[in-house]
A and B are shown apart, each in its own frame.
Chain A
Amino acid sequence: MVIPLLLMLLAVLVYPMGSSLWVSFENYRLTALHARHFVGLANYAKIPRDARFWNAMGNTLVFVSTAVFLEFVLGFALALLLHRRVRMRNFFRSVLLTPMFITPVAVGLIFRFMLNSEFGIIPYILKTIGIEVDFFATSPLALFSIVFIDVWQWTPFMMLLLLAGLESLPREPFEAARVDGASAWFTFRRVTFPLMRPVIVVAVIIRMLDAFKVFEYLYVITRGGPGNSTESIMYYIYRVGFRFFRMGEAAAMSYVLALIILLLVFLEFQLLRRARST
């Protein structure tokens, strides 16, 4: 029974990973396959000097940390609201989940025109109250506009995970806190939050891993501009690999990215462990 599963894993996971790892040690250009040859660590050696790689990595880290933080704060607030017995709770839950069912390319296209300074409804409304904003024309704002779009789409996902966590918490600690006369804030700080910590870590890791893959919004809205200010690491690797066909370099960058993500996940688990022990 296990052998078919192992064969499947070998075919869809181990082989592609091994093959791409091998490619990362080669000068492998799709349009010049006759010139393919082993170059050792040369592709990896280029990365520390590749300013665009580190710029894209910096943009991605800013994007991931800002978007995931905002999604967590808003998602947790919404989860706490919906956890209470409010009227039409199921209706609100369904409505709030809608954005995450839209494909990100469509979301990107919708916001590309909704935020357009000449044709968009949002700049038009802002203009009526005297605020003129060009969401994608200037350097830091363009990246934060992309963050805003991500927050709009993925806060419901965070809310869903945290709501599931809240609903699975034991009742006894909350009843004990009520009997002892603890305030709502105290209960949240000393009971809800500590009990939710494992769920929070998992939710944040899942969203973080997904946010690292940000691609669609950039592809349809900014193409990484103005300048390189919204170029994410995935978009940059895509361009090197699939626009310029330098597959060896793109594979090496992908492995460096995988290592950085693994390191971040490891750090998060370490933080969780330290929090538990204190």
Chain B
Amino acid sequence: MVNEVASVISNYEIASNYWQAILKAPEISRMAKPGQFINILPIKNWPKMMRRPMSIASNEHENISIIYKVVGEGTQYISDWKEGSKVDIIGPLGNTWPEFNDEYPILIGGGVGIAPILYLQDKFSSEGIKHHLIMGAKTGSEHFLEHSPDDGLLLTTDDGTIGIKGTVIRALEAIFHTPSDIRNYRICACGPSPMLNAIKQFASDYSIECFVALETMMACGFGICQGCSIEREQNSDAGSSYRKKYSLACIDGPVFQTNEIKNC
């Protein structure tokens, strides 16, 4: 973990209200692993007390990127970053996705939750590991990838304007209802809580290993403030314990196996 002044390489809208900022951050880039995040000071004189944590969406040649939607004051400032802007970031923070041996990856991203999924997908693509990628959005204009089922890339939209109509669960069902010899699927997902809880249930019903990267309110990003607690499933001796009933998303996560947590 370092506090690095990154320099903005580019920052533009890649789909309807979906933005990608590429930052030159050599030190964080050198250390970062898929699943990890950075904690961002949106502007130098940021009047609020919390940085804005965001997953790393890509990492190559000293450059990392984030994908975000403009939803509030912080992301509004971030969308104003210009090429060459200097940005104060802390990272890389958090854990990483599990090691894959012979498991078959199904990667699922919903909304800006696609960010840590794309970074993981980059790793699989560069290592030539076959996988499926599902991306869900409300409508077609929010997608920035092409629906390409033959390549294992499935897009879903709530309104059916692109890809499969419905949630990412429809795409998961499509994969599981297609005859296949693959037995050892493993899901890695990130997105809104309702989507992740639906995937958690699906994985449980089909007895599939499932990992999710969670988003919570967070202040420090490295275990000090204890604000980003996640309730764990196993809490048998929680009577007098620490971080057994509640994990911290920033240092115990953000990646958790779904059978270890109560809710996503």
A, B: real partners: no
- Chain A residues with a Cβ under 8 A of chain B: none
